[in-house]
Amino acid sequence: MADVFMGLDHGDTVAIRAGTEQVFGHFEGGHSHETKISAVHFVRFRPPASMAVAFADLRQPVMLAVHHHEYHAEAPVPGSMREEWLNDLR
């Protein structure tokens, strides 16, 4: 199953979407190479201030999206996680 995710940590593959904006994650290096990918990765997102406003407005959907080769998934980000993100951005 992990083979499906080879290369996930390269390029614009994981994003946070809020309204019409999206920001792609930047993966910490050293967790994969051409024949191996780690099960755990550290990903940093740098959302603009306008996205922080969307995080705070629970009426606006915020999604975490993964689009990598044949694998595509999206999930809503719950309010409790959005509150944590807002704390991190302060």
In this predicted structure, what is the pLDDT of residue 40? Answer: 56
The pLDDT tens digits of the residues spanning 34-49 come to: 666 655 567 888 999 9
Residue 62: which domain range?
A: 2-89
Amino acid 70: pLDDT: 78
Specify the pLDDT at position 42: 73
DSSP 71-88: EEEEEEPPHHHHHHHHHH
Say yes or no to pLDDT of 12 above 80. no
Sequence length of the chain is 90
Instruction: Count up the domains in the chain and report the number.
Output: 1
CA distance linking residue 85 with residue 73, whole number of Å: 21
Instruction: Express each pLDDT in 44-82 by its tens digit.
Output: 889 999 999 999 999 999 999 988 777 788 999 999 999
Q: For residue 69, what pLDDT is reported?
A: 73
Whole-model pTM: value is 0.75
The more confident residue out of 14 and 30 is: 14
